Structure 1
């Protein structure tokens, strides 16, 4: 299978860096007390160090919003998913416990303040691509049973013509959601040259989870303007 980023995407911001991890033979489980403790600790640290009205000024969030604006997406209407998550936490809300992999990925996202998506490969049957939609793409919203059409020109993450994430990093599909039975998982993290440390730290943390917590194997890649825009896995 291939993962490709359209060169036009890097024209929006040449400093874009995308971290990819492929976790294989993962042994996911229900969330343990230790897993939840890490998530709650990350939430509490964020509440102690940040105010809700300052979320948009966080380096990665500010760059996500600028990127979306330049891609023709209104980030006030379609908040980057991490911005929405951070605001929920800072308003006193606790994230729901889902399963160990989802909850620990959320913890890493909070710790590094970075966008991090996980997609179960059992639902993905065609090559993956970050590109602008072509008018033939469709999307299955989370929790839905009927597909919706995606207008041409929208920045999406897609498998063939089945969109995995709409409006770049706004909303993931029902297809590919990570469950307790997930074994092979594709992780996509979004950073930039000037937030490179958070990307590296988050990738190292996810690799550690795949290998040490979930007894799987891991392959890692970085895709950027000057690298090959495609990886094989």
Structure 2
């Protein structure tokens, strides 16, 4: 995945049509490593989340309510299948901390907490040619973190690559173990998506925040984009 070859990320036209309130942003970064400290940065974002949770529960946040409506629209019970940011906020509210996985994941989880917006991080070394948010055919392969293989339900919203592998199920609910960040990860695609009233502005701010935080930790090369129905494709400079 070097030279002139381009990998790209996009949402299908059907997704944009069915979810006109969608706002999406993406950050490509190369130069990531695991041997760094991000503790002070994590604390800053966790403090923002804690301040919001001191006055209301995550279920009252407009960002979370919008995703709950979206999950209901997709035929999913929103209290059974939660968007990633709601799951993080619930855990943080109960434990006042999050598990440490990898500096990049830990930092992105903290930013997701602060913004209450789902943030997905994919190791592009394990993504084939493209990554598209689309409806599943039902025969895509999804690898769980425990090593089991599943097929998404037909018409389920997934992140799918050109090889027919699902890198996330139920849209912002659960990522795959296949493209999860590891100690060997160097190049990533980070995606943020929201549906609430101020989503466009908030996702733009989140995307800029991610790029700035990465540059403050790693000697990274980054490229960012805000996606829309008129500019749905983000080409990764691989």
The TM-score, its normalising length taken from structure 1, stands at 0.90
**2: CA distance between counterparts of 1:70 and 1:197?**
24
- The number of residues matched between the two structures is 228
Give 1:51 deviation, angstroms. Answer: 4.9
> Aligned match of 2:77 in 58, 74, 91?
74
CA distances 1:14-39 after superposition (whole Å, capped 9, x unpaired) = 12111011112x2322352xx12332
Q: Which runs of 5+ in 1 are unaligned?
A: none
- 1:30 equivalenced with 2:31 (yes/no): no
1:34-45 alignment to 2 at 5 Å?
35-45=38-48
- Cα distance per residue 1:69-106 (max 9 Å; x no partner): 11222211111111011011111241112221111111
The separation in 2 between residues aligned to 1:231 and 1:126, in whole angstroms, is: 12
1:167 aligns with 2:167: no
In structure 2, stretches of 5+ residues that fail to align are: 1-6
**In structure 2, C-alpha distance between the alignment counterparts of 1:214 and 1:101, rounded to whole Å:** 10
* Aligned partner of 2:90 among 87, 91, 94: 87
Counterparts in 2 of 1:2 and 1:49: CA distance versus 1, 3 Å: closer
Partner of 2:157: 155
Partner of 1:14: 20
Q: Identify if the C-alpha distance between structure 1 residues 198 and 168 changes in structure 2 by more than 3 Å, giving closer, same or farther.
A: same
Q: 1:31 to 1:210 in 2, by over 3 A?
A: closer
Q: Answer yes or no: is the 8 Å Cα contact 2:158–2:169 preserved in 1.
A: yes
Shift of 1:214: 1.0
Check whether the contact 1:52–1:90 (CA below 8 A) recurs between aligned residues. no
TM-score, reference length from structure 2: 0.88
Maintained 8 Å contact 1:23/1:184: yes
1:53 to partner: Cα distance: 6.4
